[in-house]
Amino acid sequence: MEDTPQVLEQLSLRPATVQDVEPILDLVNDLAADGEMLPRSPATTIERLRDFVVAEVDGRFAGCGALALVWTDMAEIRSIAVAKEQRGKGLGRKMALFLLEEAERLGVARVMAFTYVTGFFDRLGFREVDHAALPHKVFQDCLNCPKFHRCDEVAVVKDLSCSQDAPPLGPLSLPMPGRHLPKRKT
């Protein structure tokens, strides 16, 4: 009997374009309807489109993730999601590593996320922290969140290479822009 030829899928990443707004909203809001993550509005998705990376399988949209700058020492991974039928292939990790590399390039000390899937972030070297340990600025976007008064997401943080030179994590850790910036590694 002949061996069945193995079909290798092509997994790739690219920055989002306006053509991705609809697939991003469909994916994120379908998962939000199932309680897997928080919803996004068209307006914030368009405004924040340059934060997004898109994952493709054989040239077709399969997932997305965003890196939002919160302050000079903190960025946040938001809306990272993989289509249900494409999970478990490493796309989520690929996107998260891409976003972490982008955070390193920007020179921020730490990356955080609010999540229900702590195991996924744990595999990437994040640690769980108390919400109270996060800078207040982080919670600005929470004001528009439908779960503002009953947040059940876990906060996770990963220190990047600049973190040793940054103020310790805490509600008042925000340095003034342009002052006390973490030193960049050369």
Ligand X SMILES: CC(C)(COP(=O)(O)OP(=O)(O)OC[C@H]1O[C@@H](n2cnc3c(N)ncnc32)[C@H](O)[C@@H]1OP(=O)(O)O)[C@@H](O)C(=O)NCCC(=O)NCCS
Which spans of this chain sit near ligand X (rule: CB under 6 A)?
31, 36-37, 80-82, 87-93, 113, 115-117, 119-120, 123
| Alpha carbons 35 and 44: distance in angstroms, whole number | 20
Residue 77's closest CA among 138, 147, 16, 165? 138
Q: How far is the CB of 66 from ligand X (least distance, A)?
A: 10
Q: How far is the CB of 84 from ligand X (least distance, A)?
A: 8
Task: Indicate the residue among 67 and 182 with the shorter CB distance to ligand X.
Answer: 67
Task: Indicate the residue among 158 and 182 with the shorter CB distance to ligand X.
Answer: 158
Q: How far is the CB of 183 from ligand X (least distance, A)?
A: 29
| Alpha carbons 147 and 125: distance in angstroms, whole number | 27
Task: Indicate the residue among 2 and 152 with the shorter CB distance to ligand X.
Answer: 152
For strand 74-82 and strand 110-115, is the pairing parallel, antiparallel, or unpaired? parallel
| Alpha carbons 57 and 142: distance in angstroms, whole number | 32
Q: How far is the CB of 165 from ligand X (least distance, A)?
A: 27
Task: Indicate the residue among 81 and 162 with the shorter CB distance to ligand X.
Answer: 81
Count of other CB atoms within 10 angstroms of residue 131: 14
| Alpha carbons 71 and 156: distance in angstroms, whole number | 17
